[in-house]
C-alpha cells in the first residue's frame, strides 16, 4: 500500500508465579521459561510476579543475545514483580505504583507487600513510537465476597489515567500486557477499555490457538486449586494483551495463542497462569479520521465504578470508626491503670490493690491496643483519602463526559445529514467519543 508501512511485532505476556521458596519448582520453571523465550524470539516480553531480582538477572543473562534490552521495575517491600525484555532499544521507562493495594494485616494474601504497579517502557518499532505497559492488579480471592473490588476498580481507574492522560500523548502505538485479575466483563476491565479505547487481542484476533475461550487459569493446570476457579469449572480469563493505534498508525492482531497447561517433555507447566502471545501488525497511516463513539455507555461505566468506590468508602469509614473507638477504650483502660498506680502515692501506706504481674500485663495489653488501633486508624485514613480522590476524579470525569454528550446531541440536532461534527484532532490516545 502506497500510504502505509507495515511492521509486525510479537508480544508475549506471562505471570511467572515466581515466589522463591514458596512457588513450586520455581528454579526449574524459570529455566523452562528462559529456554522457551530464547527459542521463540518474541519482540517484546512482559513478565509479572518475578519477585526475586536474582531470577530477573538469570533471565537477563539467558536472553542477552536475543533480547539485549531489558528493565526490572522495583517497588514495594518485595518489588513489583514486573519486568520487560525487548529486541528493540528501550528509550525510557517509568513506574507508577497504585495508591490502593490491599491491607497490610492480610499478610497471607501478600498483595500489599508486593507494591502492585504499572511499568512503562518507550520503544521505537520501525518509524513508530510505542508505549509498552506491563501491570499486575490486585488478586480476587473470592468471587462472591470480594472485599478488594473497590481497590481493583481504583487501580483500573489509575491505570487508564496513567495511560491516557499522563504518558501516551506522543505515542503512535500503545501495548498493554499483564495479569489484570479481572474477567472480560468485570467493571474495572470495562472501565479501562472504554476510557482508553484499548482493544483485546483475544477478541480482535483473526486466528486463535490455545485454551478454550482464551482462558488463562485452567482447571487442568496442576498448580491451580479448584477453589480458585469457583464457580467456574473449566477456567477463567484474567490475563490480557491489549493494544491501540492512533491517528498515525493502525494496529491489527493477526494471531494469538496461549499455552495449554502441560509443556512437552516437562513434568509441569511454566506457571499457574497460561502464557499469551499476540502477533500484531502495525500500519503507519498518513491520515486517520477522528470518530465519535459510545459516550453514553462510558458515562454508565464510570457511574458504576464511582458507585463501587463509594461502597469502599463507606466500608473504610466504618473500619476507621471501629479502630478509633477501640483505641479510645484502650486509652481509657490505660488512664484507669494510671489512676490505680497512683493510689499508693495518694493514700500514704496503702498497698497496690492488684498483683504486680497482672498490673504489668494489663499495661502491655493497653499499649498494644493503642499501638495497633493507631496504625489501623492511620492506614484507613490513607485508604479513605485515596478512595475519596478517585471518587472526586470520577465525579469530574462524569460531568465532563455528560457535557460532551450534551454537546454532541445538540450538534446532531443542527446537523440533519447525520455526519459527525468537526472536532479538533485528538492526541494519539484521547478516548474514542
pLDDT of residue 188: 96
Average pLDDT over residues 332-348: 74
pLDDT of residue 430: 47
Structure confidence at residue 263 as a pLDDT band (50, 70, 90): very high
Global pTM reads: 0.78
Please say if 136 is a catalytic residue: no
Average pLDDT over residues 420-431: 44
Per-residue pLDDT tens digits for 188-213: 999 999 999 999 999 999 999 999 99
Cell of 429: 490516545
Q: Does residue 86 register a pLDDT over 60?
A: yes
Number of neighbours of residue 358 by Cβ within 10 angstroms: 9
Are the C-beta atoms of residues 297 and 287 closer than 8 Å to each other? no
Residues 164 and 159: their CA atoms lie apart, in Å, by 8
What backbone phi and psi angles, to 5 degrees, belong to 279?
Answer: -100, 110
Average confidence score pLDDT of the chain? 87
What are the CA-CA distances from residue 176 to residues 180, 278, 397 (Å)?
Answer: 10, 11, 23
Structure confidence at residue 379 as a pLDDT band (50, 70, 90): confident
What backbone phi and psi angles, to 5 degrees, belong to 278?
Answer: -125, 130
Structure confidence at residue 423 as a pLDDT band (50, 70, 90): very low
For the chain, state the CA radius of gyration: 26
Q: Does residue 432 register a pLDDT over 50?
A: no
Residues 194 and 161: their CA atoms lie apart, in Å, by 12
3-class state of residue 256 by DSSP = strand
More confident residue, 351 or 362: 362
Largest CA distance in the chain: 104
Q: Of 71, 88, 151, 273, which is the active-site residue?
A: 273
pLDDT of residue 424: 42
The span from the first CA to the last CA of the chain, in angstroms, equals 29
Per-residue pLDDT tens digits for 269-301: 999 999 999 999 999 886 554 434 577 888 888
Lowest mean pLDDT among 42-46, 203-207, 209-213, 354-358: 354-358
Report the Cα 408 to chain-centroid distance in Å: 33
- Look at residues 88, 66, 84, 69 and name the one whose alpha carbon lies nearest to residue 7: 88
Instruction: Tell me the residue length of the chain.
Output: 433
Amino acid at each position: 500500500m502506497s500510504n502505509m508501512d507495515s511492521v509486525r511485532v510479537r508480544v508475549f505476556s506471562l505471570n511467572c508465579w515466581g515466589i522463591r521458596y514458596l512457588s513450586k519448582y520455581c528454579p526449574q520453571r524459570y529455566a523452562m521459561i528462559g529456554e522457551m523465550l530464547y527459542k521463540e524470539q518474541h519482540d517484546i516480553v512482559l513478565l509479572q510476579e518475578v519477585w526475586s531480582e536474582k531470577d530477573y538477572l538469570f533471565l537477563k543473562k539467558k536472553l542477552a543475545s536475543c533480547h539485549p534490552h531489558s528493565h526490572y521495575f522495583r517497588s514495594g517491600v518485595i518489588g513489583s514483580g514486573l519486568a520487560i525484555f525487548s529486541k528493540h532499544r528501550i528509550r525510557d521507562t517509568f513506574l507508577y505504583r497504585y495508591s490502593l493495594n490491599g491491607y497490610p494485616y492480610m499478610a497471607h494474601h501478600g498483595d500489599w507487600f508486593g507494591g502492585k504497579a504499572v511499568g512503562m517502557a518507550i520503544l521505537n518499532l520501525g518509524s513508530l513510537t510505542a508505549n509498552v505497559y506491563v501491570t499486575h492488579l490486585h488478586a480476587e480471592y473470592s468471587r462472591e465476597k470480594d472485599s478488594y473490588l473497590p481497590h481493583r476498580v481504583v487501580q483500573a481507574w489509575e491505570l487508564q489515567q496513567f495511560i491516557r492522560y499522563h504518558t501516551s500523548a506522543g505515542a503512535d502505538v500503545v501495548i498493554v500486557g499483564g495479569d489484570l485479575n479481572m474477567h472480560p466483563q468485570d467493571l474495572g476491565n470495562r472501565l479501562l477499555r472504554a476510557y482508553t479505547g484499548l482493544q483485546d487481542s483475544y477478541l480482535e484476533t483473526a486466528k486463535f490457538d490455545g485454551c478454550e475461550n482464551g482462558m488463562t487459569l485452567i482447571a487442568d493446570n496442576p498448580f491451580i486449586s479448584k477453589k480458585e476457579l469457583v464457580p467456574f469449572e473449566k477456567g477463567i480469563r484474567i490475563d490480557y494483551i491489549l493494544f491501540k493505534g492512533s491517528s498515525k498508525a493502525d494496529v491489527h492482531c493477526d494471531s494469538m495463542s496461549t499455552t495449554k497447561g502441560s509443556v512437552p517433555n516437562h513434568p509441569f507447566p511454566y506457571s499457574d497462569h497460561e502464557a499469551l502471545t499476540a502477533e500484531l501488525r502495525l500500519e503507519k497511516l498518513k491520515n486517520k479520521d477522528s470518530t465519535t463513539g459510545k459516550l453514553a455507555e462510558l458515562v454508565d461505566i464510570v457511574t458504576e465504578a464511582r458507585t463501587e468506590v463509594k461502597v469502599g468508602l463507606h466500608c473504610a469509614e466504618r473500619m476507621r470508626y471501629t479502630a478509633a473507638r477501640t483505641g479510645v477504650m484502650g486509652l481509657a483502660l490505660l488512664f484507669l491503670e494510671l489512676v490505680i498506680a497512683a493510689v499508693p502515692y495518694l493514700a500514704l501506706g496503702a498497698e497496690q490493690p492488684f498483683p504486680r504481674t497482672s498490673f504489668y500485663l494489663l499495661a502491655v495489653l493497653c499499649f498494644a491496643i493503642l499501638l495497633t488501633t493507631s496504625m489501623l486508624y492511620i492506614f484507613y485514613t490513607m485508604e479513605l483519602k485515596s478512595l475519596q480522590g478517585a471518587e472526586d476524579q470520577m465525579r469530574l470525569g462524569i460531568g465532563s463526559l455528560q457535557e460532551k454528550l450534551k454537546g454532541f446531541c445538540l450538534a446532531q440536532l443542527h446537523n440533519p445529514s447525520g455526519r459527525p461534527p468537526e472536532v479538533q484532532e485528538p492526541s494519539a490516545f484521547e478516548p474514542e467519543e
